[in-house]
Amino acid sequence: MEMQSPAPRRSKYNPFTPPADVDWSMTSPLLADGSNFPCKGYPAGRNVAVIKAGSTFKVQMAGTVFHMGGHCQWSVSYDGGKTFLVLKTVLNNCFTGTGLSIDVPIPKGLPRCEHCVFAWSWINAVGNREFYMNCADVGVISASKGPFTGPSMVVANLPGFPSIPEFPPGQKGHRQSQRDEEPAPGAAAVQRPGRADPAAVAAAGDPAERRRRRRRRKRPVRSREHAVRGPRGVYPVRARRGRRVPVERGDAVRPGHQVLAERQLHYVLLSARAPTPAPPPPPPPPPRPPPPPPHPLPRFPLFFCCFFLSFFSFPHENFIFTFPLRSLAGEGERRGGRILFFLV
């Protein structure tokens, strides 16, 4: 299955996708290692649709492999795909009970956005435990500028996220499939801690079991049925021998069993303002000028020294030489100064 309108990124239905970049496997799920989550790892592109707050947005799906339905969600992201706010959720019978044309209600208080991400996600009922997701670039027209709060998108069957078991055919939705499904190798039937084996529970001819069922129906809140009917569904929690898990009716989990634990809703805060861009990197420092060439040594002092050393070359090792100094004012006048040269 895939989303046809609004056209996802790299889809053949997207008019802004070059032919060389079309993803012809758009109906495939995300990779099992989760490396292309979210949006199959595709970058943002040009807007393909505009969503108006307070109206109904029509989404058209395409495909023929329904996998017996499952859970679908349509969400919007204001931060480039880091967090998704759910606009519409269909549990159990997505596609099989809704068809391929979906009306997504847009809240009136949804803030405006020039470039947002509209996403469709799907947890199939039967088949390999996979997670499907398509993303389209849209804009939001709204008079609201304030923040908006809503439930976050449910992600499953990927590393680091819960794993939802397969819904067996012939049962009524997720609730019945979680209740009576036979255990698979390595993970047994989903049941409340301390409850009997599902095969014994399903035995209709056991009067004692029927009496136990009637007593359980009278328990108001903490029954297994209440956990299954939660808004986010039921998520299995596996544990080793003797390990306790944080559930309402906690008990030591035996090997081959798993405990029902209702997933809590997480809320994300959206703002009408665009995400603050990262500050630009500082400019590189200007290149340092090359060092000046070394100044050539003056030749006059060297010549002067060589001249005097060659002129006053005496056989003595140490000597003192004196001569009168004439004044520059007159040639005939003498001064009393004498210059002493110490040569070593």
Same domain, 326 and 213: no
Domain count, the chain: 3
**Residue 290 domain flag:** no
Nearest to 258 by CA among 235, 234, 240, 238: 238
Integer Cα distance of 141 and 51 in angstroms: 6
**Residue 37 domain flag:** yes
- CB-based burial label for 246 (10 Å; 0-12, 13-18, 19+): exposed
What pLDDT score was predicted for residue 212? 72
Average pLDDT along the chain: 70
Whether the link from the prior residue into 38 is cis, omega within 30° of 0, is: yes
Same domain, 197 and 139: no
Q: How many beta carbons lie within 10 A of that of residue 192, not counting itself?
A: 18
Q: What is the mean pLDDT of residues 149-164?
A: 91
Same domain, 26 and 92: yes
Is 305 a residue whose pLDDT tops 90? no
Is 102 a residue whose pLDDT tops 60? yes
Same domain, 39 and 112: yes
Is 187 a residue whose pLDDT tops 60? no
Nearest to 201 by CA among 219, 184, 178, 168: 178
What pLDDT score was predicted for residue 217? 61
Q: What is the mean pLDDT of residues 82-86?
A: 93
**Residue 182 domain flag:** yes
- CB-based burial label for 321 (10 Å; 0-12, 13-18, 19+): middle
Same domain, 198 and 120: no
**Any idea what the CATH number is for the domain that residue 53 is in?**
2.70.50.70
**Residue 209 domain flag:** yes
**Residue 279 domain flag:** no
Integer Cα distance of 322 and 338 in angstroms: 6
Range of the domain at 329: 300-343
Same domain, 157 and 187: no
What pLDDT score was predicted for residue 146? 79
pLDDT band at 66 (very low <50, low <70, confident <90, very high): confident
Same domain, 18 and 136: yes
Beta bridge partners of 284: none
Of 4-18, 82-96, 248-262, 272-286, the range with the lowest mean pLDDT is: 248-262
What pLDDT score was predicted for residue 167? 77
CB 59 within 8 A of CB 99: no
Integer Cα distance of 8 and 5 in angstroms: 8
**Residue 138 domain flag:** yes
Q: What is the mean pLDDT of residues 115-134?
A: 93
Same domain, 125 and 52: yes
Same domain, 119 and 209: no
What pLDDT score was predicted for residue 68? 84
Same domain, 159 and 177: no
Is 274 a residue whose pLDDT tops 60? no
Q: What is the mean pLDDT of residues 246-260?
A: 40
Is 287 a residue whose pLDDT tops 70? yes
Q: What is the pTM of this model?
A: 0.52
More confident residue, 174 or 81: 81
pLDDT band at 127 (very low <50, low <70, confident <90, very high): confident
Is 296 a residue whose pLDDT tops 80? no
Q: What is the mean pLDDT of residues 292-320?
A: 59
Pairing of strands 70-77, 2-5: unpaired
**304: phi then psi, degrees, rounded to nearest 5:** -60, -45
Integer Cα distance of 190 and 198 in angstroms: 8
**Residue 283 domain flag:** no
**Residue 117 domain flag:** yes
What pLDDT score was predicted for residue 158? 94
Q: Which residue reads 């035996």 in tokens?
A: 254
CB 26 within 8 A of CB 12: yes
What pLDDT score was predicted for residue 276? 61
What pLDDT score was predicted for residue 275? 55
- Report the range out of 122-131, 203-212, 298-307 with the highest average pLDDT: 122-131
User: Model confidence over 15-57: pLDDT tens digits?
Assistant: 999 999 999 999 999 999 999 999 999 999 999 999 999 999 9
Q: What is the mean pLDDT of residues 273-285?
A: 74
What pLDDT score was predicted for residue 311? 58
Same domain, 181 and 98: no
Same domain, 125 and 69: yes
